[in-house]
Structures are given as structure tokens and as C-alpha cells.
Amino acid sequence: MIAFEGREPYESHEDLAMFDGRLGSEEVFVVYFFRSDRLTRGEYTVNADFDDGDKALKTRKKLLRTLIEQYGQPAKDKRRWNDDFHKGDPEQLGWALESGDVEFITTWHRADAEITLRLVDDSGMELKLEYCSPEHLGAQPSTPLSALL
């Protein structure tokens, strides 16, 4: 990963390496996960303090357009409703996101990776792009990321 990123990670452990990076015009927190010295997953979390759902939705839309240009139409692009109070009102999507009522999940299935763009509010809005090798789908690293932060 050092060769790919062009620099040393700011933190690394046996099965992961962390970098600051960019995804399009967005600054991101990058984590690469390894298993038996093989890259199994990469996560790119947008480093934005989204103060409202509409701003997060605009950033997601911009990233989604870029990903569609690169990978084509996604296999799945859905909203998962945790509470359907705002479900019928598209003008309230930002508020529904802020309230944790809706999650946006978009997935591409490729031979070399499953790619997922996810926007959720789980104690703070998070926009994350994840690449996972097919043979490691669902595998978790031995060092949980939450233990390092």
C-alpha cells in the first residue's frame, strides 16, 4: 500500500494501514485491511462534518455520478427505511437522514470486488465507500477499527 499511496501510513497494525487521502474532490480517511498479507478491503470515509442531511446527500450524489461513470450502473441502489414517517416526502430526505430514519446503500458487483457506497446516520452522518474482495466478503479484521480510534 505504501507504493500505491506514495507515502507511509500515519498508523498501521498487523492487519490494517491508515492514510489520509482524496476521493474526487473530497478529503477521506482511508483504511486498508489485510489478511495473511493480502489486501481484503479498503474503506474511504469522507472527512466532512455534515451539519445537515441535504449537504450529505449532495456529496453522495456527486460521488455516485463519478462511480457510475467508472463502474456503470450499480447492481443495487436502495434506501433502507428504519422509520417511514418521511418516506413519501422527497423534500424531507435530508431530515430523514439526519434523524436516522433512512440509509442509502448502493452496490456494484464485480469479479474483483464488491463496491458499496453507504450514507448513514449512526451517531453522526457518515459517507463511506468500501471495496471488498469477493473471497473476503463479511470477513472482519482481527483488530477492530473502533479499538484504534
pLDDT (tens digit per residue) in 46-66: 998 888 899 999 999 999 999
Name the nearest CA neighbour of 90 among 122, 54, 51: 54
User: Would you call 139 helix, strand, or coil by DSSP?
Assistant: coil
Q: Residue 121 to residues 74, 103, 117: CA-CA distances in angstroms?
A: 22, 7, 14
Is residue 74 scored above 90 in pLDDT? yes
Name the nearest CA neighbour of 60 among 131, 145, 125: 125
CA distance 73 to 75: 7
Name the nearest CA neighbour of 89 among 105, 73, 101: 101
pLDDT (tens digit per residue) in 7-23: 677 777 788 989 998 88
Confidence (pTM): 0.83
